[in-house]
Amino acid sequence: MQYFYAPWRSEYHTNKDKSKCVFCDISQTPEKDRENKVLFRDEICFIVMNLYPYNPGHFMVVPHRHLEALEDLPPNEWQHIANLAQKGVKLLKEEFRAQGVNIGMNLGAVAGAGISDHIHLHLIPRFFGDTNFITTIAKSRVFGSDFCAIYEKLLAKSSEYFG
């Protein structure tokens, strides 16, 4: 068994107050948008990079409203999130050159939600060859892109797509 260390994740595991919602913290601190890697925000939701991405360029659309049940989200807010997701797909395809995009929500811990008490919609850019033997055999992922450089690239174009 090989071990790959990701020391930048230690803060997530050790220093986070588990009684607080990370998405509510981001929602309530617009002055920290660059630090939190927020790409866009408006009165209904914000778009933030996933700090532990499935693939480079993975981001989420998150309502400001703290809800764990999608069915409790007002229809107009769900429609707004869906509209931003559609624009996000366009951003990923045109500016990040994604060849495909996965969109999804894990509703509840049993469904795989890492943060189950605050709904959020994932957009994951996909590329031919981004799944290979290392993920299935070594249970590891290798990213050939710098996270901060990806954030800056997407941020530079985000107002054109979401603004």
**Which residues are designated catalytic?**
120
| DSSP of 47-116 | EEE-SS-SSTT-EEEEESS--S-GGGS-HHHHHHHHHHHHHHHHHHHHTS--SEEEEE---SGGGT-SST
**Which residues make Cβ contacts (< 8 Å) with residue 18, sequence separation at least 6?**
none
* Cα 32–chain centre separation: 16
